[in-house]
């Protein structure tokens, strides 16, 4: 395991709090931060060629929008003197974050708690809850 933290970002107020908290911890321990934005995306879809073309176009647009979230985070962390890397991926958020934590040998994962309620979270749970239940490394959920 390295002195690397994985930080899940999505541009929400909860994510902003997680950025602040992770930055404080990284500065204290001299850790690197990998700021990750995951675009929820399922590869399991049966579409016509036209639908696949439109889906690919949407996917590329989402990647561009994701940069508007991770770039300011990276700038803020760099200004604070923290070594930072950004990653944007498509996939199931919790699963993708766990894969990234493994790939980067992250010692810890930081994520903001959105506090969302509703049927989707009741049935499937939040990304933070999924990480807490399945991560092999500590997960800090920032309120």
Side-chain-facing half-sphere of 123: CA atoms under 13 Å:
3
Percent of the chain with pLDDT over 70: 84
Domain chopping of the chain, boundaries: 4-142
Q: Tell me the three state secondary structure of residue 140.
A: strand
* pLDDT over 90 at 79, yes or no: yes
Tell me the average pLDDT across 103-130: 74
Domain 4-142: what homologous superfamily? Answer: HUPs (3.40.50.620)
pTM of the model: 0.84
């Amino acid at each position: 395991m390295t002195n690397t933290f994985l930080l899940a970002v999505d541009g929400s107020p909860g994510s902003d709090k997680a950025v602040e908290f992770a930055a404080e911890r990284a500065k204290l321990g001299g850790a690197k931060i990998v700021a990750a934005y995951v675009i929820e995306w399922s590869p399991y879809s049966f579409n016509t060629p036209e639908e696949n073309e439109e889906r690919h176009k949407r996917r590329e647009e989402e990647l561009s929008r994701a940069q508007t979230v991770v770039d300011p985070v990276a700038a803020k962390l760099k200004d604070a003197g923290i070594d930072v890397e950004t990653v944007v991926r498509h996939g199931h958020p919790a699963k993708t974050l766990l894969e990234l934590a493994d790939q980067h040998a992250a010692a810890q994962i930081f994520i903001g708690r959105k506090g969302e309620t509703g049927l989707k979270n009741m049935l499937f749970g939040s990304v933070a809850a999924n990480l807490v239940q399945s991560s092999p490394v500590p997960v800090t959920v920032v309120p």
